[in-house]
Amino acid sequence: MSAASWAVPPSSTPAALYICARRPGTMSTQPEDKALAEGQAHAERHGWPILHTITDPYDEANPQQRPGWLRVRTLAAANRIGVVITRWPASIAPESLHELRHEEIGKLAADGCTVDYSWSSPISTERA
């Protein structure tokens, strides 16, 4: 897919901020806090109101087994959000399960929802 085929959603597109960063059994909230701050700043830069902040612990590789991710999918299917902001692709599924990541992004796209990454990258928007 070329960069030209990716489109950044217009400002005022309702967003969900999805965070999958905290490892179970750890007391530190630093990874989650950083993902939250980055996601909020990213949404503000684009003019996307965050209507939902959804978190999952970073312990289940399969996004289809995570309650938070399933909520994201439900919101997209109901047309309540138009963009999902998450820190990086591995927040959806690790590289070892990249096919699931692409499948999930495709399901969101079928519902008219885009995934946008808040980490610094020259091209951070991905569509299926």
Cα–Cα distance between 16 and 72 in angstroms, integer?
A: 7
Q: Give the per-residue pLDDT at 2.
A: 32
What pLDDT is attached to residue 119? 86
Residue 49 belongs to some domain of the structure: yes
Is position 75 within any domain? yes
Q: Which pLDDT score, from 0 to 100, does residue 10 have?
A: 84
Average pLDDT per consecutive 10 residues, the chain (128 residues; last block may be shorter): 56 96 78 93 96 94 97 98 96 95 96 91 48
Identify the domain containing residue 121 by its residue range.
Answer: 9-126
**How high is the pLDDT of residue 31?**
87
pLDDT score of 122: 47
Query: Which pLDDT score is estimated for 30?
Result: 87
Q: What is the 3-state secondary structure (H, E, C) of the chain?
A: CCHHHCCCCCCCCCEEEEEECCCCCCCCCHHHHHHHHHHHHHHHHHCCCEEEEEEECCCCCCHHHCHHHHHHHHHHHCCCCCEEEECCHHHCCCHHHHHHHHHHHHHHHHCCCEEEECCCCCCCEECC
Q: How many domains does the chain have?
A: 1
In a domain, 115, yes or no: yes
Q: Measured in Å, how far apart are the chain's first and last C-alpha atoms?
A: 9
- Is 4 inside a domain boundary? no
CATH of the domain at 60: 3.40.50.1390
